[in-house]
Amino acid sequence: MVDAKMLNKIGSAPGFIAALDQSGGSTPKALLLYGIAEADYNGDEEMFRLMHAMRVRIMKAPAFSGDKVIGAILFERTMDGDVDGQAVPSYLWEKRGVVPFLKVDKGLLDEDNGVQLMKPMPDLDPLLIRGRDKSIFGTKMRSVIAHADKTGIAAVVKQQFEVARQIIGQGLVPIVEPEVSIKSPTKEAAEAILRDEIAAQLDKLPAGEQVMLKLTIPTVDGFYEPLGAHKSVIRVVALSGGYSRADACEKLRKNHGMIASFSRALTENLRVQMSDAEFDASLAETIDEIYAASVKKA
Residues in the chain: 298
Cross-strand bridge partners of residue 258: 236
CA 85 – CA 77 distance, rounded (Å): 15
CA 280 – CA 24 distance, rounded (Å): 27
Q: What is the 3-state secondary structure (H, E, C) of the chain?
A: CCCHHHHHHHHHCCCEEEEECCCHHHHHHHHHHHCCCHHHCCHHHHHHHHHHHHHHHHHHCCCCCCCCEEEEEECHHHHCCEECCEEHHHHHHHHHCCEEEEECCCCECCCECCEECECCCCCHHHHHHHHHHCCCCEEEEEEEECCCCHHHHHHHHHHHHHHHHHHHHCCCEEEEEEEECCCCCCHHHHHHHHHHHHHHHHHHCCCCCCEEEEEECCCCCCCCHHHHCCCCEEEEEEECCCCCHHHHHHHHCCCCCEEEEECHHHHCCCCCCCCHHHHHHHHHHHHHHHHHHHHCCC
Just list the catalytic residues. Answer: 177, 214
